Amino acid sequence: MSNHGFVRTIAFILFASFISCGGLSGEFAFRMPYEDVYKKKTAPVEFPSSVAVDWVFAFDRVKDNRKIGVLLMRKELVWVEIKSRIDNVSREKTCIYDRISGLKDGEYRIVLTDLKKDNRLIGLKDFIIYSKEEDEE
């Protein structure tokens, strides 16, 4: 095989894998009370239980209308679903918004799935809720 043919073969394989992995993706960001902008947070993400925190998942690109499963889970012996809903995204609406509030101390996870693609995982974000009193001690 010539060098030119080898390069074409590799380029075709990379292009095919890029197309097949072209699912929905994006990033989470959070906004504390009295803040004007959402900020990306790296692990560990922690919030006091006394504060309501807004979150957003901004999709990198949405080509068509999709139904998105939005789950909030709490870690017990296993991850337990405590809240779920369905949201829609499209070319015009590329973000999903929600609020974290009224949760007990513990470990939580936000999970987003693509309902059109058999609940394929789009994104997840773990966070911890703690009591303000524990922080002050």
Amino acid at 133: E
At the topology level, CATH places domain 24-136 in: Immunoglobulin-like (2.60.40)
Q: How far is CA 105 from the centre of its chain?
A: 21
- pLDDT tens per residue, range 68-111: 999 999 999 999 999 999 999 999 999 999 999 999 999 999 99
pTM: 0.79
Q: What are phi and psi of 101, to 5 degrees?
A: -160, 155
Map out the domains of the chain as residue ranges: 24-136
Q: Does the pLDDT value for residue 40 go beyond 80?
A: yes
- Gyration radius (Cα) of the chain, Å: 19
In the structure encoding, which two tokens stand for residue 70, read together? 């939005």
